[in-house]
Amino acid sequence: MIHKMGIEQADGNLTNFLLGPDDEFAMIDEDDIRVYSGAIPVNVATQNLANVAARLAHHEMIEELLGAYLEKRHDKAGAEWNTEEFWASVYSWKQMFKKKRVQKNISPDREFD
Ligand SMILES: Nc1ncnc2c1ncn2[C@@H]1O[C@H](COP(=O)(O)OP(=O)(O)O)[C@@H](O)[C@H]1O
Ligand SMILES: [Mg+2]
């Protein structure tokens, strides 16, 4: 688990993740990566997962991502996880990305980012 290893991918754009033919998963583009000495703090993890989740178009997709994430998070920090805070962060990232697209004069409403 990337967060447990202390890695934060601050640029959660979906083009920074690759899926191979046998469901191998890879994270690329280290430009914005931050590395912590231990597992990343739960608030950073919440914001970071929300940053990735905010690129997904459908509520169900975000729920699936969150479910899969929490399933792997069988640690002490998991108990501190605040799902409300996660969703608030998803919506705030979504708004921020939309604003950026408006500034760049590109279609503000797109399915995936
Ligand atoms: N190892 C790789 N295998 C396949 N495609 C890659 C690989 N590395 C980069 N790419 C492709 O290049 C794109 C941009 O790469 P990335 O490392 O994210 O650079 P950038 O700084 O331009 O975002 C990726 O979205 C992907 O399509
Ligand atoms: Mg990239």
82 lines ligand 1 (CB under 6 A): no
pLDDT at 77: 53
Mutate which of 29, 31, 112 for ligand 1? The one with the most ligand atoms within 8 Å of its CB, which is: 29
**Among candidate residues 95, 92, 15, the one with its CA nearest the CA of residue 47:** 92
**Contact call for residues 96 and 39 (beta carbons, < 8 A):** no
27 lines ligand 1 (CB under 6 A): no
63 lines ligand 1 (CB under 6 A): no
Q: How many residues does the chain have?
A: 113
pTM of the full structure: 0.89
Sequence ranges of the domains in the chain: 7-103
* Ligand 1 closest atom vs CA 28: 17
Ligand nearest to the CA of 19: 1
16 lines ligand 1 (CB under 6 A): yes
Q: DSSP letter for 27, please.
A: E
* Residue 36 φ then ψ, to 5°: -105, 160
- Segments of the chain assigned E as strands: 7-9, 17-19, 25-27, 33-35
Query: Can you give the pLDDT of all 113 residues of the chain as single tens digits?
Result: 799 999 999 999 999 999 999 989 999 999 999 999 999 999 999 999 999 999 998 999 999 999 999 998 876 655 689 999 999 999 999 999 999 999 999 888 877 77
pLDDT at 12: 95
